[in-house]
Amino acid sequence: MTIRAWAEFSDGKSKAEILRQLQDLGYELSQRTFYRHCAQGKCRTGKGGVYSRRLVKAYVEAEGLRRNGSDPDDTDSPNSALSVEKQILENEKLRLHNLRAASEYKKDEGLLIEREALYLELAARAVALDNGFRQTIEIESPALIAVLGGDLVRQPEFIDLLLGIWNELLNSYATTEEFEVLFEDEEQVRKGE
């Protein structure tokens, strides 16, 4: 059965004829339901007691009746383009909502971290690494001087000692421990001096 288009719909005075045309258009609508809708004024006649295409289409849209099968091009419907655009926008809105929900779920599960938090964590670790290296060199300087004893032949021992210190600092940098670092605004520091 080929579904007709709204362009083929013709105005009529007979409920039976209008029902047949609606069924030809692909709407599953029983006689009893259609006649009841007519009695309730949902599908009404216009001037001269005629069921016009405009009024019947308004009835179909108001009742949310759906067409079966493939929907032929409905170029005479002013709402068809808007309906398609509205559906596209609704789909995009739903897609974005689902992306946001998936992102929130991953964040709640600990699979994602916020970019700003990551940058602050990296900055804190870099400061801790830099300060740790400088403080360790100052603290270990007597041992470093003693290891060398002013003897260039002992340079490999000196390099091994420095690399050992550096490796320890890198290991502490890579741990999951939390660091607490205070960042101060340079202007505030200058004013406080």
Angle at 98 between CA 97 and CA 99, to 5 degrees: 90
pLDDT for 73: 46
- Please give the average per-residue pLDDT across 102-108, as a whole number: 86
Where a domain ends, among 18, 46, 76?
Answer: 76
135 domain-assigned = yes
| 67 and 15 co-located in one domain | yes
Residue 89 to residue 28: CA distance in whole angstroms: 28
Where a domain ends, among 28, 57, 76?
Answer: 76
143 domain-assigned = yes
Contact 6, 76 (CB under 8 A): yes
Number of independent structural domains in the chain: 2
User: For the whole model, what pTM was predicted?
Assistant: 0.36
Which domain covers residue 68, as residue numbers? 6-76
What pLDDT, in 10s, does the model give residues 130-178?
788 778 777 877 777 777 776 767 777 777 887 888 788 777 776 766 6
What pLDDT, in 10s, does the model give residues 174-193?
676 665 666 666 666 555 55
Nearest to 63 by CA among 40, 84, 96, 87: 40
Residue 120 vs residues 9, 113, 177, 184: alpha-carbon distances, Å: 67, 11, 14, 13
Residue 99 to residue 11: CA distance in whole angstroms: 48
What pLDDT, in 10s, does the model give residues 3-56?
678 888 888 888 999 899 888 888 888 899 989 998 988 888 888 888 988 999
Strand extents, DSSP E, 34-115: none
187 domain-assigned = no
132 domain-assigned = yes
Q: Return the SS3 of 12.
A: strand
Q: Which residue has the tokens 């579904």?
A: 3
| 121 and 64 co-located in one domain | no
* CA 35 and chain centroid, separation: 46
Q: With the C-alpha atoms ordered 30, 48, 54, 71, is the resulting torsion angle positive or negative?
A: positive
pLDDT for 32: 92
70 domain-assigned = yes
pLDDT for residue 74 is more than 60: no
Q: Which residue has the tokens 């009529």?
A: 12
33 domain-assigned = yes
Residue 183: strand pairing partners:
none
For the chain, the C-alpha Rg in angstroms (whole number) is 39
189 domain-assigned = no
130 domain-assigned = yes
pLDDT for 161: 82
pLDDT for 8: 83
